[in-house]
Amino acid sequence: MSDLRLSGIGMTSARTRDRLVQRLREHGVANFAVLDRIRNVPRHIFVDEALGSRAYEDTALPIGFGQTISQPYIVARMTEALLESGANDNVLEVGTGCGYQTAVLAPLVARLQTIERIGPLLARARLRLKELGIRNVRFRHGDGTLGWKAHAPFDAILVAAAPLTVPEALIKQLKVGGRLLVPIGPDGQQELVRFTRREQRVERESLGNVAFVPLLGGTV
């Protein structure tokens, strides 16, 4: 991939990215490392070329297969919420999608495992992360509602799609002290929740209203 394509021009230039980062700061994202990733990950390469001029708008965009690339604010907020409350040596992402959230998060953790149910999306994400030189990610085509038992327990799990209720398998695959960050609820009534597993209980913290595609089981 050429340096020019990665760096961007016009509506994908560094100046455009800086304006996005400033908007995220104004909306409360404060983690410097997260903001730096938002600035430096070339979001335009994760969307169709026809949508490239909109890549640094703070909005979700279609990526095919009925899926979307998440709004940059949501990516930043979820990444910040995951990082701020514990160890991040072994992290699971459920819902790789096009790989943008993966690219933002991966350099901020030691090891990232990521699962996607839609095969062509996973192949595209794998290619993009390879082109960006990100090498601490393990990919799996699978059912994210089941987690990834072979690599559990996890310090943290980030879910990029919304189940109606939290999948019990994901809670069970957390370490004690581990966090599950997941949007929960039906379309139009979703909230972002951070669960923390303790020895004898699971703590629940609401982080506000969000809008995600539904979390589905199975693979395609």
Positions marked catalytic: 70
Closest CA to 167 of 179, 156, 182, 178: 182
- Cross-strand bridge partners of residue 184: 191
First to last CA, the chain: 28
The backbone torsions φ and ψ at residue 183, rounded to the nearest 5 degrees and listed phi first, read: -80, 135
Instruction: Give the C-alpha separation, 186 to 188, whole Å.
Output: 6
- Cross-strand bridge partners of residue 35: none
Q: Are strands 111-116 and 137-141 parallel, antiparallel or unpaired?
A: parallel
The residues, any chain, with a CB within 8 Å of residue 109's CB and separated by 6 or more, are 88, 89, 91, 136, 156
